[in-house]
Amino acid sequence: MEVSAILCSRCQHPLPAAAFNATGMTACAYCASLFRLIAFPAALQPVEQGKPGELILIDGEAGCFYHPEKKAVLPCDSCGRFLCSLCDVEMNGEHLCPPCIESGKKKGRLKKLENHRIRYDDVALALAILPLVFFGCASPLTAPIALYVAVRYWNTPGSILPRTKFRFAVAILFAVIQIIGSGVVGYLWITGRLK
Amino acid sequence: MAHGSEYMRLPGRGGSFYKQSLWLGPDHLLSVTNRGYSEDYKRFYYRDVRAIQIRRTSAYAVINVVCGAFLMICVVVQLLGAFLWGWTEGAQVAFALCTGLFATLCLVNVLLGPTCAVHLYTAVHNESMPSLNRLRSADKATRLLRAKIESVQGALTRESVLQNAGALDSTTAPDVAPPVVVEPYNGNFHWSLFALLLFNSILIVVGAFYRNPMLQIVNTVVYLAMGICMIGALIRQRKSSMGKGLRRLAWASTVYIWFVSVLGSFVAMFILFEKGLRPGHYDYRDVLRAALDRVPSDSIPLLVLALFSAACSLAIGLAGFVLMMQYRRENR
């Protein structure tokens, strides 16, 4: 197996070994752009090829659940189905099959596969504040929606990153004030005390 | 780590449309793309990172040159307005705000320092890190990141690099370099651009001494045509076999056209101010009338600017013609 080259991010030409962890900037031999390359031991390791999975040669050998013609090498740690080396995915020390990974990702059990989250606190805050600033007349409609979003998603995990419930609290406060304000204005208007 | 979270923020924040930020996790680097009301995550495990490339970019110099040029023009016009053209206080304050804006942009750019592009490599990734767009923040972030990666992988010694230098450099030989795709290009856009620049220099000189509405219209059409040819030339030369000289001339003509457009706007503003027309109190007919009422030879600064523009146009046009003839000979 060969060590694969690291390509210049500008001209896509391979970078020379002399540039690896060199002190100061080096000029690319092709595009002349100045760069610094911080390399790690993984850069010198050959890229591993995927395992194809062995075919069953002897009768009675256990076969893979998804590829019956291939030899099973271990069971899935989640569903227990036999897996060939092609179907085996190692993750955090566990061996899982692709459908278990898919369902784990959908249900949010595999945190490390999560690649998208909606920030409901920002949605609630925007619904509570933006209509107030830009379209004041829409706030009787948007304030209850903001309140609903804030209460409904209060316990839903927000961002993976550090984040407090401050936005939710502000959204609830503003939404409640707007609802009460709209109610008072509506009452005064109906009773004819608002001209 | 903030709020007992497993992530620690790395310096730098940026991105063209969506903002990106980088976070150090226990066993991976988390790249977070903020899409307004949602976030997208990408994880790069420390054990998989092969290298980080920090490449200097020209954005720092370009921003400085562009803002500096605008600043210089603003300062010159401001001084001329105050001492020569007798601007009102209101006009001077309004223009001073414009000058201040460019000065602030220049200062902020200088304080932020040189720009760079950072790429992270794994066996299957070559991922750009738009949040690390300044050399200072990139250095700081890579120092922290390097410590984390080396705690997992260990440090790459110079000896091990030299041992594998043969294998690494065998792929760097020019014969295995990606082939450069050259598209055939007869240089029509460049020919037209340089011819228009020569014609433009004549028009400027004639227009400096001779007042004629037709001349103004022809001049405007020539500038529009130059703009179109310039865009065409810049696009077509990218994958052509043109030499550096011609490519640079195309860029020089771009700078020239941009410079003349900016200058033209300032001169138009000056003429309108001089005629006592204030924003909101004139329409395009007034602008045209004001432009036609003046010829550069009426005032020394305008004449100098016109002759300077004509000289630049002539120089770029002539140099372009010479290089284009050479290019045609080489590609015959």
Contacts of A173 (CB under 8 A, 6+ apart): none
Contacts of B145 (CB under 8 A, 6+ apart): B10, B22, B24, B29, B52
Supply the pLDDT for residue A154.
92
Supply the pLDDT for residue B274.
67
Q: For B28-73, give the secondary structure using H, E and C.
A: EEEEEEECCCEEEEEEEEHHHCCEEEEEECCHHHHHHHHHHHHHHH
In chain B, what residues touch A3 (CB-CB under 8 Å)?
164, 167-168
Shortest Cα–Cα distance, B227 to chain A (Å):
28
What are the φ and ψ backbone dihedral angles of A36, each rounded to 5 degrees? -130, 130
Query: Which whole number is the average pLDDT over B202-214?
Result: 81
Fill in the DSSP letter of residue B237.
H
Predicted ipTM beyond 0.85: no
pLDDT digits (tens, 9 = 90+) for A92-148: 778 889 898 888 877 777 777 888 899 999 999 999 998 888 877 788 889 999 999
Supply the pLDDT for residue B23.
93
Query: In whole angstroms, how large is the CA radius of gyration of chain A?
Result: 29
Supply the pLDDT for residue B206.
86
Q: How far apart are CA A50 and CA A45, in angstroms?
A: 15
B residues 9-48 closer than 8 Å to A (CB): 23, 30, 32, 36-43, 47-48
With pLDDT > 90 as the criterion, what percentage of chain B qualifies?
28
* Tokens, residue A9: 């991010």
Query: Which whole number is the average pLDDT over B90-101?
Result: 83
- State which residue of chain B sits closest to A42, comparing Cα positions: B50
In chain A, what residues touch B147 (CB-CB under 8 Å)?
none
Q: Which of A15, A16, A115 sits opposite B42 (nearest CB)?
A: A115
> In degrees, to the nearest 5, what angle opens at C-alpha A68 toward C-alphas A62 and A72?
40
Q: How far apart are CA B155 and CA B146, in angstroms?
A: 9
Asked whether A27 and B55 are in contact (CB, 8 A), the reply is no
pLDDT digits (tens, 9 = 90+) for B270-317: 776 666 666 556 666 666 666 666 666 667 777 777 888 888 888 899
pLDDT digits (tens, 9 = 90+) for B69-85: 888 888 887 887 777 77
* Tokens, residue B192: 């037209």
In chain B, what residues touch A38 (CB-CB under 8 Å)?
51-54, 142, 146
A19, containing H or E segment: none
Say yes or no for a CB contact (<8 Å) between B122 and A42.
Answer: yes
Say yes or no for a CB contact (<8 Å) between B168 and A39.
Answer: no
Q: How far apart are CA B105 and CA B101, in angstroms?
A: 6
pLDDT digits (tens, 9 = 90+) for B147-175: 999 999 988 887 788 777 776 666 544 44
Residue B180 sits at the chain A interface (C-beta within 8 Å)? no
Hey, which residues does A116 pair with through a beta bridge? B40
Fill in the DSSP letter of residue A70.
B
In chain A, what residues touch B161 (CB-CB under 8 Å)?
17, 20-21, 39, 44
Q: How far apart are CA B267 and CA B264, in angstroms?
A: 5
Q: Which of A6, A123, A160 sits opposite B121 (nearest CB)?
A: A6
Supply the pLDDT for residue B292.
64
* Strand-strand pairing, B51-56 and B116-121: antiparallel
Q: How far apart are CA B298 and CA A172, in angstroms?
A: 67
Query: Which whole number is the average pLDDT over B326-330?
Result: 83
Which residue has better confidence, B332 or B120?
B120
Extract the residue ranges of chain A whose pLDDT is less than 70: 1-3, 50, 57, 195
- State which residue of chain A sits closest to B55, comparing Cα positions: A35
pLDDT digits (tens, 9 = 90+) for B41-74: 999 999 999 999 999 998 899 899 888 888 888 8
- State which residue of chain A sits closest to B47, comparing Cα positions: A42
Query: Which whole number is the average pLDDT over B179-208?
Result: 84
Contacts of A63 (CB under 8 A, 6+ apart): A56, A69, A70, A71, A72, A82, A84
Compute how many other C-beta atoms are within 10 angstroms of the C-beta atom of residue B127. 15
Say yes or no for a CB contact (<8 Å) between B55 and A126.
Answer: no
Supply the pLDDT for residue B3.
46
Could you tell me the sign of the dihedral formed by the alpha carbons of B131, B135, B139, B140, in that order?
negative
Shortest Cα–Cα distance, B229 to chain A (Å):
27
> In degrees, to the nearest 5, what angle opens at C-alpha A42 toward C-alphas A38 and A47?
130
* Strand-strand pairing, B28-34 and B19-24: antiparallel
Hey, which residues does A36 pair with through a beta bridge? B54
Say yes or no for a CB contact (<8 Å) between B121 and A43.
Answer: yes
Confidence class for position B177, pLDDT limits 50, 70, 90: very low
Supply the pLDDT for residue B114.
93
Supply the pLDDT for residue B98.
84
Query: Half-sphere exposure of residue B22, counting CA atoms within 13 Å on the CB side?
Result: 27
Say yes or no for a CB contact (<8 Å) between A13 and B50.
Answer: no
Q: CA separation (Å) from A103 to A82, A107, B122?
A: 18, 6, 27
Strand segments (E) across B57-207 = 116-121, 126-128
Asked whether B10 and A140 are in contact (CB, 8 A), the reply is no
Residue B153 sits at the chain A interface (C-beta within 8 Å)? yes
Q: Which of B156, B168, B178 sits opposite A41 (nearest CB)?
A: B156
Q: Which of A30, A117, A162 sits opposite B39 (nearest CB)?
A: A117
Supply the pLDDT for residue A45.
83
Supply the pLDDT for residue B181.
61
Supply the pLDDT for residue B172.
47
For the question of whether the overall pTM of this predicted structure is more than 0.80, the answer is no
B residues 52-81 closer than 8 Å to A (CB): 52-56
Nearest to A15, CA basis, from B155, B146, B134, A3: A3
Q: Which of A33, A39, A42 sits opposite B47 (nearest CB)?
A: A42
Shortest Cα–Cα distance, B236 to chain A (Å):
18
Q: How far apart are CA B144 and CA B25, in angstroms?
A: 12
In chain A, what residues touch B162 (CB-CB under 8 Å)?
17
Q: Which of A17, A43, A122 sits opposite B50 (nearest CB)?
A: A43
Res B229 pLDDT > 70? yes
Shortest Cα–Cα distance, A150 to chain B (Å):
14
Contacts of B182 (CB under 8 A, 6+ apart): B239, B240, B241
Supply the pLDDT for residue B170.
63
Helix (H, G, I), strand (E, B), or coil: what is residue A82?
Answer: strand
